[in-house]
Amino acid sequence: MGELNYIKRTSDEAVRKGNQKLVKSINRSMVLNIVREHGPVSRADVSRLSQFYPATVSSIVNDLIGEGFVREAGLGDSTGGRQPVMLQLDRRAGISCGVSIAVDKLRACVTDLDAQVLAAEEASLAWEQGPRHCMRAVTGVIRRALGQAQVDPDRILGIGVVYPGPVDSDNGTILASPHMPGWGGFSLGEAMEAEFSLPILVDNDANAAAWGEKWFGSARGRSNYLYLMADYGLGGGIVIDDQLYRGRNGGAGEFGHMTVDVDGPQCKCGNFGCLDVMASAGAIVDKVVGDVKRGARTSCVELCGGQMDELTIDIVLQAANEGDAHAQAVVEEAGRYLGIGLAGLINWFNPELIVLGGRLPLESTLYFESATETAKRRAWSALGRDVSIVLSSLGADACVIGAASLVLARVFAPPSIAAYA
């Protein structure tokens, strides 16, 4: 019910400001979200849950039916009188497309209003060739996904694009690019708008995943939570009072550059002992390679055919899952470092929930348990004992569904007070 509580608070503020146009728009958002969350639901139940007069509910519902977002879905059970007509979200009333840009590949998906994937496509990405050259691959994977979905073009609400680094979401510009040198300063939004006559929304991948978890995943109904993605890099999204916190210029959530070991190896950012070089997939691979050079024995050597320069995180996790003691020790240590970082975040933000996504927690129970146990033990007990740490329910699709969610959230989220100021 977190979204509904936030909408109610926004409505109360709009009433205090005397802005009837804003109140009407917020009330519409409230009714639409109740139908989304509780459908099939009767008009009487919408009135009870929203605390709106029945006549107000009927008027808003009629508008939503006219717009195509809500449909009548048969009769419900009677409680003594006539059977009520039930209301349900028409999932195919709007279509969103999301694309996730990563270091090694592109992923695109097409979803309905409830973030159910209708089509998905992948493509490799040679990011070294620069952003302008790579836009051909980005637009190509989007067009293939839309073609596979066979949707009515008039129902496409927009395209969300996410990138693994700080992004100015207002103008769609990549602010910095530690993992893909040469992409910093590129206007991703402008390049996309030149290719598609649709609304384009650009954001950091972890921010988008955090938003996707709120509307469609593990953080549904939560108002204050953190999302942290642990893969070849580490990043996160911060949601405070139902709003994504971006910081002064869009750089909030770069958790990968928290120092957790002052004597640790140097990070690409120039600092030493960052989470990125202590708890990421790249850190795990580098540690195994270095240990083997120093004489460590591990089945990782055989699994990669003795070619240690071809060692991947998938091979290390396979070895750990098969009982290799060295691989297990390295993965567990990386999880501990993540837990140290999580403990700091718990003390700073006092979240009700932390959602962990990315390859490491999703594919390694050892990593996940090491991180959560360390976080609970090291966080201040007054804060750590009540926080829940869970896996992403969107799984490996969190970033690309998060990209689509940037568009979908515009349908369901209440309008900003500032927009009507």
Residue 171 CB neighbour total at 10 angstroms: 12
Q: Are both 377 and 268 inside the same structural domain?
A: yes
Residue 419 within any structural domain of the chain:
no
Residues 187 and 265 in one domain: no
Do 152 and 81 lie in one domain? The reply is no
The CA-based diameter of the chain, rounded to the nearest angstrom, is 79
177 and 30 together in one domain: no
Q: Is residue 417 part of a domain?
A: no
Does 418 map to a domain? Answer: no
80 and 164 housed in the same domain: no
Which CATH number do you get for residue 369?
Answer: 3.30.420.40
Residue 420 falls inside a structural domain: no
Q: Is residue 137 part of a domain?
A: yes
User: Does residue 318 share a domain with residue 224?
Assistant: yes
Q: Are residues 147 and 281 in the same domain?
A: no
Same domain, 308 and 222: yes
Mean pLDDT by 10 residues, the chain (421 residues): 57 58 87 91 94 94 94 86 92 94 92 93 93 95 96 94 91 88 94 95 94 91 94 92 86 92 93 96 96 96 94 96 97 98 96 96 97 96 92 94 92 62 45
Domain boundary among 66, 89, 112: 89
Same domain, 312 and 381: yes
pLDDT value of residue 303: 96
**How does 285-301 read in b/e, with b if 16+ C-beta sit within 10 Å?**
bebbbebbeeebebbbb
Give pLDDT, residue 1: 52
Position 421 scores a pLDDT of 45
> Does the residue 166 lie in any domain?
yes
Q: pLDDT at position 17, please?
A: 55
Residue 157 lies in a domain: yes
What is the model's pTM? 0.86
* Domain extent at residue 168: 95-215+399-412
* Domain count for the chain: 3
Domain boundary among 43, 68, 89: 89
Shared domain check, 211 and 223: no
Tell me whether residue 421 is in a domain: no
Identify the pLDDT of residue 104: 81
Q: Find residue 157's DSSP bridge partners.
A: none
Q: Are residues 82 and 151 in the same domain?
A: no
Tell me what pLDDT residue 43 has: 95
Domain match, 225 and 200 both: no
